[in-house]
Structure 1
């Protein structure tokens, strides 16, 4: 699954490479033909990119215009990729949208998109309507943690369920759910409305911290060698880990650190200072190829931490890794 930090990494790179460029568009596999035609018809200039959680929005319009007339919505789902190349490889059968720079600026670039959801429409009907259904995104500068606090206070459901609800907290996926709850020392089954304001804000701060680390490093573990608790039998603190299904996905909890408490109502405590959300202040962002190479070196599965940001360097590194894996002929 491509989680929110992965989408924000793609957007940051594409803002540097593609925003302001006039782009020709077509659909190699034919599954986004109408959308590609709409991009060309409106003028084909990529005006801006917005990300809300796991949802990416590319706004197109006429040259010299500030008002986009077409928006393309991308949701990767479990897999997919959005690659920008200087040296274009052959477009595979999964490529739904191909973009190519069609202006006099350098460099000449080609982008390939494969994703579970690729839709197009008018900004006011597609973008505005969809974003209205999404919760606060820890990696957006305009994130409102109070909406997260209010949603938790109103929810009788387990906090593990609430944290994965994209209408409450946009961008958090299954791995982040386990890791955030572990670091915040909150049991996934704890009813959300029994948490104190301080606990909910601690949960929010932890989500911001971990997802910013993921954005910076290109790894869902951030700078850690591996997970705290996810997919483990023993957690980072040495406690025994239990796992079960929650909302159809496996959730993990440390029996030592995360205790399920019987509460009727939350007891108030001093709330922590809010951590700054967003990514604009995050320095030292690791490139896609360095992030992938580090995962290979540590034998971390690229499938578990699916990387959707691709370019010439990641392609070359992947090809080199395949060559190294081939058995030598005797």
Structure 2
């Protein structure tokens, strides 16, 4: 399932490709009949809130997004959803986002990537929604949710979500207070979209390692400084992810130590894996998919276990139950700035 930073990248790609343009909308699969009602409308905006994408459509470019007539297409990709793009050179900043997918045009008979005329591409039968503009198109397949909402419906969804670290309007106090009031394990709370929006299994595992916290410690046993530190660490990590399409949590000095991960699927593939200049995924994580391998910091065997229907990964030596006393400086792995210094552990 895509984590929150990829949905923000998706919103940016849709704004760049279709923003303020009159578009054609259709549902080749036939399961999103509302697409016909929006055909010929203007895509006024695209925004991400956690793992939810909202596409704002207005009947005319003279109407501002947010006006009473605005209709919002809410999309949640879930485990199997994806968007794929095709168009003129420079049309979209990405070619695909979501579950493992085939690029648009790759299965067109007699065509290869360089020769595809996007205007001639026939949508696959599984395409839930196609958006086509003057310079290109985007196809949505396999989403968990795809529905049309009015302003009240959009707000109702947002009100159910916790704060999103990538949004300027996020209130981190809601996250901190919710964690401190809960008896639930912090490893479960971080995956609860009602507590914090956009966090997935990779960010959960990695930020807890960086905070030196055992995933099983109850939220109420943490101090305010510890929980605020988790938020402060997530913001630059996710901003980097939104900018590059990659999750990288390791410090440069640790990347070549036990540079391995245990992969049983393509689940950890990231944007730009084929680029030799990026940090490869086997060097990008401290604990995620590194079960049975030595910890990069202390050489203890990384463990994994089921937690709330997902696999959690942690180092039993580095991640103590209640304390957070890192022995190395937590500086963002791909940026020159340092994160805030360690806070007092007093409430």
TM-score of the two chains, using structure 2 as the length reference: 0.70
Unpaired segments ≥5 residues, structure 2: 88-116, 250-277, 326-330, 336-347
8 Å contact from structure 1 (residues 56, 73) kept in 2? yes
Structure 2 equivalent of residue 21 of structure 1: 21
Matched ranges for 1:153-192 at <5 A: 153-192=180-219
**Cα distance in 1, alignment partners of residues 248 and 80 from structure 2:** 19
Q: Tell whether 2:63 aligns with 1:65.
A: yes
**Cα distance in 1, alignment partners of residues 211 and 195 from structure 2:** 18
Structure 2 equivalent of residue 250 of structure 1: 311
Q: Tell whether 2:8 aligns with 1:8.
A: yes
8 Å contact from structure 2 (residues 76, 146) kept in 1? no
Structure 1 equivalent of residue 284 of structure 2: 226
Structure 2 equivalent of residue 39 of structure 1: 38
Inter-CA distance 20–185: structure 2 relative to 1 (3 Å threshold): same
**Cα distance in 2, alignment partners of residues 94 and 183 from structure 1:** 41
8 Å contact from structure 1 (residues 120, 126) kept in 2? no
Runs (4 or more) in structure 1 with deviation over 4 Å come to: none
What secondary structure sits across from 1:245 in the alignment? Answer: strand
Matched ranges for 1:294-309 at <5 A: none
What secondary structure sits across from 1:169 in the alignment? Answer: coil
How much does 1:82 deviate?
Answer: 1.7
What secondary structure sits across from 2:217 in the alignment? Answer: coil
What secondary structure sits across from 1:140 in the alignment? Answer: coil
Q: Tell whether 2:199 aligns with 1:199.
A: no
Structure 2 equivalent of residue 217 of structure 1: 244
How much does 1:119 deviate?
Answer: 2.8
Deviations 1:37-60 (A, max 9, x none): 2212xx511111121100000010
What secondary structure sits across from 1:96 in the alignment? Answer: strand
**Cα distance in 1, alignment partners of residues 286 and 122 from structure 2:** 40
Structure 1 equivalent of residue 274 of structure 2: none
Compute the RMSD of aligned alpha carbons: 2.2
Structure 1 equivalent of residue 301 of structure 2: 240
What secondary structure sits across from 1:156 in the alignment? Answer: coil
Inter-CA distance 218–122: structure 2 relative to 1 (3 Å threshold): closer
Q: Tell whether 2:54 aligns with 1:50.
A: no
* Structure with the higher fraction of residues in helix conformation: 1
**Cα distance in 2, alignment partners of residues 120 and 241 from structure 1:** 41
What secondary structure sits across from 2:199 in the alignment? Answer: coil
Match of 1:128 among 155, 158, 163: 155
How much does 1:110 deviate?
Answer: 1.5
8 Å contact from structure 1 (residues 15, 49) kept in 2? yes
How much does 1:121 deviate?
Answer: 2.9
8 Å contact from structure 1 (residues 38, 70) kept in 2? no
In the alignment of these two chains, the number of paired residues is 258
TM-score of the two chains, using structure 1 as the length reference: 0.73
**Cα distance in 1, alignment partners of residues 180 and 317 from structure 2:** 26
Structure 2 equivalent of residue 75 of structure 1: 76
**Cα distance in 1, alignment partners of residues 315 and 145 from structure 2:** 38
How much does 1:190 deviate?
Answer: 0.8
How much does 1:83 deviate?
Answer: 2.5
8 Å contact from structure 1 (residues 52, 171) kept in 2? yes
